[in-house]
Structure 1
Amino acid sequence: MKQAKDKGRTGGRTESRGQAAARTSTKTATTLGRPKVRPSALVAADTAGDAETRIYQSVLGGVMGQRLLPGTKLPEAALCELFGVGRSVVQKALQRLAHDHVVELRPNRGAVVAMPTREEVVKLFEARRALEGAILPLVAQSATKADFAMLRRQLREEHHAMHSAPQTEWARLASTFHLKLGELSGNPLLARYLMEVISRCALVVAIFQPPGNAACEHDEHARVVDFLERGKVKEAVAEMDAHLRDLESHIQLVEEPAGRSLADMLGLG
Structure 2
Amino acid sequence: MSRTAPTAALNRGSRASPKVSQNDFIYEEMLDAILEQRLAPGTKLSEDTLGEIFGVSRTVIRTVLQRLAHERIVRIQPNRGAFVSEPSPEEAREVLQARRLIEEGIIRGAVRNQSPEDIQELNQSVAAERHSLENGDHEAWVRLSGDFHLKLAEIARNQTLSAFLRELVSRTSLIIVQYQKGAVSPCSCDEHSEIIEAIAARDENRAITLMNTHLQACEDQLNLCENDTKADLYSIFAKPTRKTGKSRGAK
TM-score, normalising length from structure 2?
0.72
Matched, 1:72 2:43: yes
Aligned partner of 2:144 in structure 1 is: 173
Residues of 2 paired with 1:145 and 1:252: CA distance? 39
Residues of 1 paired with 2:114 and 2:55: CA distance? 50
The answer for unaligned runs of 5 or more in structure 2 is 1-17, 240-251
Partner of 2:107, secondary structure, is helix
Partner of 1:217, secondary structure, is helix
Aligned partner of 1:199 in structure 2 is: 170
- The within-5 A match list for 1:147-162 is 147-162=118-133
CA distance 1:180–1:104, shift in 2 (3 Å): same
Residues of 2 paired with 1:266 and 1:252: CA distance? 29
Matched, 1:90 2:53: no
Give the C-alpha shift of residue 240 in structure 1.
0.6
Give the C-alpha shift of residue 155 in structure 1.
2.0
Residues of 2 paired with 1:84 and 1:151: CA distance? 38
Aligned partner of 2:227 in structure 1 is: 255
Higher relative contact order (CA closer than 8 Å, sequence separation 6+):
2
Aligned partner of 2:5 in structure 1 is: none
Contact 1:151–1:177 (CA under 8 A) maintained in structure 2:
yes
1:118 is aligned, of 89, 94, 102, to 89
Aligned partner of 2:13 in structure 1 is: none
Aligned residues: 219
Aligned Cα root-mean-square deviation (Å): 3.0
Q: Deviations over 1:135-188 (max 9, x none)?
A: 223322232333322222222222222212521211111111111211222323
2:191 is aligned, of 200, 208, 220, to 220
1:230 aligned partner, one-letter code: A
Residues of 2 paired with 1:224 and 1:188: CA distance? 21
The answer for unaligned runs of 5 or more in structure 1 is 1-45
CA distance 1:167–1:215, shift in 2 (3 Å): farther
CA distance 1:216–1:183, shift in 2 (3 Å): farther
CA distance 1:138–1:54, shift in 2 (3 Å): closer
CA distance 1:249–1:79, shift in 2 (3 Å): same
Contact 1:68–1:265 (CA under 8 A) maintained in structure 2:
yes
TM-score, normalising length from structure 1?
0.68
CA distance 1:140–1:252, shift in 2 (3 Å): same
Aligned partner of 1:21 in structure 2 is: none
2:193 aligned partner, one-letter code: A
Partner of 2:202, secondary structure, is coil
Residues of 1 paired with 2:187 and 2:72: CA distance? 21
CA distance 1:148–1:104, shift in 2 (3 Å): same
Matched, 1:209 2:202: no
Partner of 1:125, secondary structure, is helix
Matched, 1:163 2:134: yes
Matched, 1:100 2:71: yes
Partner of 1:70, secondary structure, is coil
Give the C-alpha shift of residue 210 in structure 1.
4.7
Q: Deviations over 1:224-254 (max 9, x none)?
A: 1112222332221111101001112223452
Residues of 1 paired with 2:95 and 2:167: CA distance? 10
Residues of 2 paired with 1:176 and 1:262: CA distance? 25
Residues of 1 paired with 2:117 and 2:28: CA distance? 35
CA distance 1:222–1:98, shift in 2 (3 Å): same
Q: Per residue, is there more helix in 1 or in 2?
A: 1
Aligned partner of 2:112 in structure 1 is: 141
Partner of 1:101, secondary structure, is coil
1:255 aligned partner, one-letter code: N
2:62 aligned partner, one-letter code: Q
